[in-house]
Structure 1
Amino acid sequence: MTRLGLQDTIAAVATAPGHAGVGVVRLSGPDALPLADRLFAGRRTPSRTPAGRFLYGQVLDEQGEALDDGLCLVFRGPHSYTGEDVAELQTHGSPAVLERVLTRALELGARAARPGEFTLRAYLAGRLDLSQAEAVLNLVNAQTETARRQATLGLQGALSERIAAVQRQVTRTLSAIQALLDYPEEGVPEEERDRPLRQAMAELRTLISTSRAGRLATRGARLAIVGRPNAGKSSLLNALLGYERSIVTSRPGTTRDYLEAQLELAGVPITLVDTAGLRLTDDEIEAAGVRQAETLARHADLVLLLEDGHQPRDPLPQLEGLPMLRVQTKQDLPPVWQDPAALTVSARTGEGLAELREAIRAALLGDAARSEVWLGSERQVDAARRALQHLEAATTLPDELASYELEQALQALSELTGRDVQEDVIDGVFRNFCVGK
């Protein structure tokens, strides 16, 4: 996709499917404005309109009759989003109108845009680097304020700036080593060689530590609520949600299938999963629910293991080793055991819920909550980790071999921002975009 058809004029509906007050059909490419001249009739033609201006008029069909009233916004390369001439036709947001306008643009010679092709052209034109392009996708998909903020910081170049700072530190060390190899009698001060390398490694470790939080803020987290029957799982789910989503009874084993509910917590979209109570049972249906609960726990980002503080303790060893918070429930009743490592809550009174929410936030985000910029994709994490591995290797090798490792680290950092990256990697990034962006 990367090099195919980049000289074509492309068109796509740039607004979300469905009915809306306004819809947009976007054209970009060398013939975008001449094509808009034939598609739109206003007081002047789009090709004669200065950049940044808009026209009021009508979008025309093949007979010259009006498809709809609307606006035409004109942008000129290289200062447009794509770096090319762009025309955006704003009409009423009827799917029928937008489909007809797009069809007419294609009849006049435009090609249907591929997923992410507008942003791909912006990247290839140097308007964005690859990390900023990924931030565009994250911004489109953002479900929470935290995800929006992280995507906006990425789009503004905050991650690119952090990576550029690391590259400068690595380059300083590489230059110092090369100078030492060329002029060994001169020597190189420690602050010119080792200190920049230590700072670069520390910065990469900080960025890598944010990767889990970045992924969860973008795609969301699954939080499984598990425990023995009647441990208060459904009650806690309702208490966290603030409304009754799950049926609560005093009869053990009521929940036989799992139940999901959506919640935003600490800026992360969370899917809460209420599961069947874990116990040995001869009931075939309940046993299937127990197996399903164990599977859901193993695939969750975090497990809340609930234990009834009003009943004798009965541990669940099969869940050991999972990312887990232990929660002692029913604190409105006299407890019969205590565990300093367990959080204590009462779904009935709300006692301990604030502390539980904070513990969930800490378990999901960790120290990343204090960081301004998060790594948001597996591709970024992989490049950062490879760069760090090369830097760590450089600290253990003679100068001649250390220079090679530093060069490899710079290569990995360039891949992170997309300045030196293979076409299949670029295609993989933009394949996830929607059509029209």
Structure 2
Amino acid sequence: MTRTGLSDTIAAIATAPGSAGVGIVRVSGPGALGVADGVFRGRRRPSATRGGRFLFGQLVAEDGEVLDEGLCLVFRAPHSYTGEDVAEVQTHGSPAVLARVLSRVLELGARPARPGEFTLRAYLAGRLDLAQAEAVLELVNAGTDTARRQASLGLSGALGERVERISARVTRTLAALQAMLDYPEEGVPDEDREVPLGAAEADLEALVGTARAGQVATRGARLALIGRPNAGKSSLLNALLGYERSIVTPIPGTTRDYLEANLSLAGVPVTLVDTAGLRETGDEVEAAGVRQAISLAARADLVLVLEDGSLPREDLPTELPGEARVIRVRTKADLPPAWTDPAALDVSAVTGGGLPELRDAIHAALIGDAARGEAWLTTERQADAARRALLHVRAARTLPDDLAGYELEEALRSLAELTGRDVSEDVVDAVFRNFCVGK
């Protein structure tokens, strides 16, 4: 995103496309309140109003035509989302009304906002750090309560605070090491080196450990159901969904192509993928489905390996991908067992027995030990910066005092990149490229 024009007054429709009860046109910049004066007619002009006030009046075109009745919200710099003067015009959510109001605002001197430009201005003004800016987009896109909760924590600055605590420990040791250069005979005591660095390493390990949970919470997870024909894959998919989505018959090979269905498991967005039964077959179409099942398992976040517990146990005719995360499920647990395995979950799609335990196991495999009340790493950018910081702290702990300083400086640089205090324009542009216009 180009940084030119950041002193311009910008405007955009800030509500979703389509008809709604309320629509918003947002204006930000040095001329925002003057622009609002030209489109809003009420008992008081927006430019003559203190910040934090609502005004009721009419939205008018250049020739005085009344476009709608509505509200004008006035925010004065620096007490606004962007840190600039901001006017938000609220009308009925008619696309025609919003288009006319925006057109008039642009005639009055504002220019169309670029995607994410309001939040970019908030970031550049110091109203948000980069992790908070990412949380804005995650909150807009949150489809489950877990995603909403994490986005809210991120927006509150909780992740930045967590990173700052780690940075403070690293800075304490770095300062002690730099002071040691003036008094080398004294060395650095453990309370200024090993204690804070040990705590920083532990905190970074815990933070890096949240990356998988954070990304699963925001983008969702793919679960592949694999097993031999008639192992109960389609029945289990239907049972987890609570309705019949996949065709179930006693005929082996019924499922030849894969089938997807979405649901929320304990607040985690999950895509279940029902795949073709794994077996050797001369049927070219079914064989293609088997190859596809293996490929889907390799790309899944979690693989449920289903085995019919009412029949003698057989090995799968193919090896699972080495990196696959697996939960083994002994299906048809309502029938007399032909075998048992303490490592497998007993589940019956007919009675529902074992389904709560399976849901818990899926949630644990996807979210792990990430503490619910703490901010998680929710993007690969954040996770990469945290991993690099951890590697530098670990390296510093193994080096003598006169060499450890460089590693700690690099750790601090990585932590500053995580929050956006020290980051390239390319990284910032990559973050805001995903925003919509109006946010």
Runs of 4+, deviation exceeding 6 Å: none
Q: How far apart are 1:18 and its partner, in Å?
A: 1.6
| 1:55 equivalent in structure 2 | 55
Q: Tell me, in whole angstroms, the C-alpha distance in 2 between the residues paired with 1:61 and 1:284.
A: 67
Q: How far apart are 1:3 and its partner, in Å?
A: 2.2
What residue identity is the alignment partner of 1:25?
A: V
Q: How far apart are 1:292 and its partner, in Å?
A: 1.8
Instruction: Give the aligned length.
Output: 437
Quick check: 1:211–1:376 contact (8 Å CA) kept in 2?
A: yes
Q: Tell me, in whole angstroms, the C-alpha distance in 1 between the residues paired with 2:371 and 2:336.
A: 36
| 1:221 equivalent in structure 2 | 221
* Residues 85-131 of structure 1: per-residue CA shift (max 9 Å, x gap): 00001111112221221122122221111111101100111111111
Q: How far apart are 1:187 and its partner, in Å?
A: 3.9
Greater CA drift, 233-242 or 245-254: 245-254
Q: How far apart are 1:222 and its partner, in Å?
A: 0.6
* Residues 185-236 of structure 1: per-residue CA shift (max 9 Å, x gap): 3343211121101101110110000000100100000111111111111110
What residue identity is the alignment partner of 1:429?
A: V
Q: Tell me, in whole angstroms, the C-alpha distance in 1 between the residues paired with 2:287 and 2:68.
A: 60
Quick check: 2:298–2:321 contact (8 Å CA) kept in 1?
A: no
Q: How does 1:179-198 map to 2 (within 5 A)?
A: 179-198=179-198
| 1:298 equivalent in structure 2 | 298
Q: How far apart are 1:362 and its partner, in Å?
A: 1.0
Quick check: 1:210–1:371 contact (8 Å CA) kept in 2?
A: no
Q: Tell me, in whole angstroms, the C-alpha distance in 2 between the residues paired with 1:142 and 1:92.
A: 25
| 1:340 equivalent in structure 2 | 342
| 2:289 equivalent in structure 1 | 289
Q: Tell me, in whole angstroms, the C-alpha distance in 2 between the residues paired with 1:156 and 1:286.
A: 51
Q: Tell me, in whole angstroms, the C-alpha distance in 1 between the residues paired with 2:315 and 2:143.
A: 37
- Give the 3-state SS of the residue equivalent to 2:44 in structure 1: coil
Q: How far apart are 1:415 and its partner, in Å?
A: 0.9
Q: How far apart are 1:434 and its partner, in Å?
A: 1.1
| 1:374 equivalent in structure 2 | 376
* Residues 315-362 of structure 1: per-residue CA shift (max 9 Å, x gap): 223225221111110011111112221111000011111111111011
| 1:164 equivalent in structure 2 | 164
| 2:91 equivalent in structure 1 | 91
Q: Tell me, in whole angstroms, the C-alpha distance in 2 between the residues paired with 1:225 and 1:235.
A: 11
Q: Tell me, in whole angstroms, the C-alpha distance in 1 between the residues paired with 2:266 and 2:283.
A: 39
Quote the sequence identity (%).
Answer: 73
Q: Tell me, in whole angstroms, the C-alpha distance in 2 between the residues paired with 1:431 and 1:290.
A: 39
Are residues 1:419 and 2:421 paired? yes
* Residues 266-314 of structure 1: per-residue CA shift (max 9 Å, x gap): 2210011111111122223222222222221111111111111111222
- Give the 3-state SS of the residue equivalent to 1:79 in structure 2: coil
What residue identity is the alignment partner of 1:342?
A: A
Q: How far apart are 1:26 and its partner, in Å?
A: 0.2
Greater CA drift, 257-266 or 85-94: 257-266
- Give the 3-state SS of the residue equivalent to 1:367 in structure 2: coil
- Give the 3-state SS of the residue equivalent to 2:4 in structure 1: coil
| 1:241 equivalent in structure 2 | 241
| 1:358 equivalent in structure 2 | 360
In 2 relative to 1, CA 131–2 (structure 1 residues): closer, same or farther, beyond 3 Å?
farther
* Residues 236-275 of structure 1: per-residue CA shift (max 9 Å, x gap): 0111111111121111111122211111112210011111
- Give the 3-state SS of the residue equivalent to 1:395 in structure 2: helix
* Residues 36-88 of structure 1: per-residue CA shift (max 9 Å, x gap): 11111111111111111111111112322011111111101111110000000
- Give the 3-state SS of the residue equivalent to 1:22 in structure 2: strand
In 2 relative to 1, CA 369–195 (structure 1 residues): closer, same or farther, beyond 3 Å?
closer
Quick check: 1:61–1:104 contact (8 Å CA) kept in 2?
A: yes
What residue identity is the alignment partner of 1:165?
A: R
Greater CA drift, 361-370 or 410-419: 361-370
Give me the TM-score of the superposition, normalised by structure 1.
0.97
Quick check: 1:181–1:399 contact (8 Å CA) kept in 2?
A: no
In 2 relative to 1, CA 395–369 (structure 1 residues): closer, same or farther, beyond 3 Å?
closer
What is the aligned-residue RMSD (CA, Å)? 1.3
Q: How does 1:322-337 map to 2 (within 5 A)?
A: 322-337=324-339
- Give the 3-state SS of the residue equivalent to 2:398 in structure 1: coil
| 1:21 equivalent in structure 2 | 21
| 1:3 equivalent in structure 2 | 3
Quick check: 1:139–1:152 contact (8 Å CA) kept in 2?
A: yes
- Give the 3-state SS of the residue equivalent to 2:270 in structure 1: strand
Greater CA drift, 362-371 or 169-178: 362-371
Q: Tell me, in whole angstroms, the C-alpha distance in 2 between the residues paired with 1:367 and 1:8.
A: 46
Q: How far apart are 1:370 and its partner, in Å?
A: 4.8
What residue identity is the alignment partner of 1:174?
A: L
| 1:430 equivalent in structure 2 | 432
Q: Tell me, in whole angstroms, the C-alpha distance in 2 between the residues paired with 1:369 and 1:225.
A: 28
5+ residue gaps in structure 1? Answer: none
In 2 relative to 1, CA 2–162 (structure 1 residues): closer, same or farther, beyond 3 Å?
farther
- Give the 3-state SS of the residue equivalent to 1:72 in structure 2: strand
| 2:265 equivalent in structure 1 | 265
What residue identity is the alignment partner of 2:90?
A: Q
Give me the TM-score of the superposition, normalised by structure 2.
0.97
What residue identity is the alignment partner of 1:14?
A: A
Q: Tell me, in whole angstroms, the C-alpha distance in 1 between the residues paired with 2:109 and 2:180.
A: 61
